[in-house]
A and B are shown apart, each in its own frame.
Chain A
């Protein structure tokens, strides 16, 4: 039976005299993780640290259900302690091996836990509200407005005219994306201790992760809301508090 590892936290109760396992009741009751049926989550201690683990189902694959289970376990654990989140799919041969790894690199993990104590990650994604951004692009460009009027007067314009016009509009929208990406980043970055671009994914022109203290997180939310109010073309999705996925180092 292999062991699936979700993350690493401090073992607050660690007795220097021996490898005391933390009391399981520190975990939310009935917390389950990956697998079908979901495997119960437990803890494995070593080196004054705790690994949050479960049994690993055979042939674990990156199914949506299991990805979400990984997230959920870390979110729950993050409520009561600082945790170094593992990347999805980290599997150890055994609990023993987990203990050995914790003991071997205890210093390094403790340093990271110290650095991240009291801090959370927030991820911010931005898209444009299409109608509003098109409005802005046209409003800011007399040539485009003239073209739009001409097309409208001739029943929408010929295929080529519409294509040409649409291309110019798309260019204007892209310019606005670049500009608004800078606006969002410049407004939010000063509130954070660290900022990292999120993994590449299609569909947004901003995907940034911020490392924040909890008071700063409040300011982030307020600032994001204010940005949307001042710039109705912006649609911001703010996710958090999250375990500091983007701010752990091997």
Chain B
């Protein structure tokens, strides 16, 4: 997990956390009729280089290739890239909630849709966790 403190004082890196929540500044916050709002036409879309999954041929082929490389003998817990937990973490907070949810590899997903609450939002989804450097354009 990355915990990103938003209120670091000054210095380089003080904005790294803010970057990921820029959408809040554009889309949330107080609007007062008496003030003019700057036109957002031509806004630099904050391109975060992620591979968006719009169920596409590319995605299918990429998944196929990725699965081809998977070592199914290893448990998922042995996969690389597991999170570095920040600080001393006691599990007591999550333990109660996580029990009976998912645990380990022997899960079936057949009933997932039945259990989950659909949000009714049409979101572009992606299925990759790899976030590359954000494009810098200024």
Contacts and interface: CB of A to CB of B under 8 A. Distances in A.
Interface of A: 2, 5, 7-8, 28, 60-65, 67-68, 70-72, 75-76, 78-79, 84-93, 97, 100-101, 104-105, 121, 123, 125, 127-141, 144-145, 148, 151-152, 156-157, 162-167, 169-170, 172-183, 186-187, 197-205, 209, 219, 221-233, 235-242, 245-246, 248-250
Given A135-B76, A232-B77, A240 B63 contact: no
Contact of B35 (A91, A137, A178): A91
B52 A79 contact: no
Contacts of A151: 64, 68
Contact of A222 (B68, B90, B115): B90
B64 A226 contact: no
Interface residues of B, number: 102
Q: Which of B20, B55, B108, B129 has the most CB of A within 10 A?
A: B129
Contacts of A65: 138
Given A157-B64, A199-B26, A245-B29, A235 B35 contact: no
B116 to A, nearest CB: 4
Contact of B125 (A28, A92, A205, A221): A205
Nearest to A60: B38
A7 B28 CA distance: 12
A67 B25 contact: yes
Interface of B: 1-7, 9, 14-15, 17-40, 42-44, 46, 48, 50, 52-53, 55, 57, 59-68, 70, 72, 76-77, 79-83, 85-87, 89-95, 97-98, 101-103, 105-109, 112-113, 115-119, 121, 123-131, 137-138
A88 B36 CA distance: 11
Nearest to B89: A225
A177 B40 CA distance: 32
Given A199-B27, A203-B50, A236-B1, 12 more contacts: A64-B138, A68-B18, A87-B27, A91-B38, A125-B20, A127-B126, A129-B82, A140-B105, A162-B61, A183-B102, A237-B2, A239-B20
B67 A169 contact: yes
A75 B25 CA distance: 12
Contacts of A125: 20
* 9 A-B pairs closest in CB distance: A226-B94, A166-B60, A89-B38, A87-B29, A199-B27, A139-B105, A166-B64, A245-B28, A162-B64
